[in-house]
Amino acid sequence: MIDRINALRVETPSWGYGNSGTRFKVFAQSGAARTIEEKLSDAGMVNRLTGVCPSVAIHIPWDRVDDWDSLRQFAAGQGVAIGAVNPNLFQDDEYMLGSLGNPSAATRIRAVNHVLECIEIAKRVGSSIVSLWLADGTNYPGQDDLRSRRRRMRACLREIYSALPGGLRLLVEYKFFEPGFYSTDLPDWGTAYVICLELGLQAEVLVDTGHHAQGVNVEQIVAQLLDVGRLGGFHFNARKYADDDLIVGSTNPFELFLIFNELVAAEDDHDAAVSGCARKVAYMIDQSHNIEPKVEAMVQSVINIQTAHAKALLVDRSRLRDAQRKGDVLDAHRVLLEAYESDARPLLHEARRRLGIDVDPIAALRTSGYSDRIARERGKAASTSGYPGA
């Protein structure tokens, strides 16, 4: 079990280390990363503290540089690699009416070319993932023809997909609303799944845990996508109302545990296609820290992910299957509750000891002096991440 705990890998996002906030205000913090190099340095510190975060997702153009080989070497010097490349198709004025679904052919060409640039960047930095979220949609009935929007988006995605080299996955993310408040071109997992089927095997669905309506059963979505072999990855965060991008597991840790329950069970599934899919799921964090310390908040998210994962590993699968076969509803539920209510800290402490790191990463960060040092060296910048609201 310790080996499985330590085998989990969690990718942190470059934009989570810079100043960011809501659409109304950015509360700048001393020491927040201002450049991609500073973001990678912070990510390196998170990896040293946790032992399980060896890669960093980047966002283009926020993190664009002239020399990708040098950046790759710099990242290696911090003990991390560059992970998923995320195109930005939502902040330029040209994208007011959408990107890949925009009525303007010129805008669609621009958007496709940007994603193609990101594919080339992924090849240069050694990444195996391009993670795509579209802010495409409409605000008013009649604003655009809904079927035409889908056809435009599909045609653009097919052009993008045709440029993927072998081994590079396109993860297609969905969001049920925002910024389009009448319709969203990729509003749910089913729509994203159908698009992936139309594209090919290198296209998979990305689940953002904040991109669902209240009460949606996210773990069932995870189970469905695992069963059809198209769950590509996660953007882990937490939300109370909508896409709040809070610390992972901060508002509904039981849901996070139930998601990992499905993932752990699928890893051991007798169906090789299901288990193979589960074992290559990309675990990535997507959170926008607003009032909490950047590096410390990221470490806490990683700890919460590890805790949910460890508790899922504690589920008595044999007893659970037996209760399910017998139709013993309460005992089946109790099996999950017992695992969830277990204290996973001794297991996690032992896992960290075997990695040669402090059993309490937050305490280690606070005593390291790292946060004080970067606050002195970097000072306070008003806006640095490029994240919406920043």
What digits encode the pLDDT tens for the residues 210-257? 999 999 999 999 999 999 999 999 999 999 998 989 999 999 999 999
Return all residues near 236 (Cβ < 8 A) that are at least 6 apart.
10, 209, 248, 256, 283, 284, 285, 286, 287, 301, 305
Whether the pLDDT of residue 142 is over 60: the answer is: yes
pLDDT digits 0-9 by tens, 45-60: 999 999 999 999 999 9
* Measured distance CA(276)–CA(128) in Å, rounded: 17
What single DSSP character describes residue 59? E
- Residue 20's pLDDT band, with cuts at 50, 70 and 90, is confident
Residue 70 burial class via C-beta count within 10 angstroms: exposed 0-12, middle 13-18, buried 19 and up: exposed
pLDDT number for residue 289: 76
Stated pTM of the model: 0.96
Whether the pLDDT of residue 189 is over 90: the answer is: yes
* Measured distance CA(378)–CA(264) in Å, rounded: 41
- φ/ψ of 205, rounded to 5, equals -85, 135
Is residue 288 within 8 A of residue 20, CB to CB? The reply is: yes
Whether the pLDDT of residue 158 is over 90: the answer is: yes
* Measured distance CA(309)–CA(301) in Å, rounded: 12
User: How many other C-beta atoms are found inside a 10 Å radius of the C-beta of residue 5?
Assistant: 21
Look over the chain and give the mean of its residue pLDDT values, rounded to a whole number: 96
* Measured distance CA(82)–CA(84) in Å, rounded: 7
pLDDT number for residue 43: 98
* Measured distance CA(4)–CA(242) in Å, rounded: 32
* Measured distance CA(265)–CA(317) in Å, rounded: 8
- Residue 315's pLDDT band, with cuts at 50, 70 and 90, is very high
pLDDT, average across residues 177-203? 97
pLDDT number for residue 117: 98
Assign domain 2-313+344-378 to its CATH superfamily: Divalent-metal-dependent TIM barrel enzymes (3.20.20.150)
pLDDT, average across residues 320-346? 98
Tell me the chain's radius of gyration from C-alpha atoms: 21
* Measured distance CA(251)–CA(248) in Å, rounded: 8
Is residue 309 within 8 A of residue 264, CB to CB? The reply is: yes
pLDDT, average across residues 354-359? 98
- Residue 389's pLDDT band, with cuts at 50, 70 and 90, is very low
pLDDT number for residue 383: 56
Return all residues near 310 (Cβ < 8 A) that are at least 6 apart.
1, 5, 344, 347, 348, 351
What single DSSP character describes residue 141? T
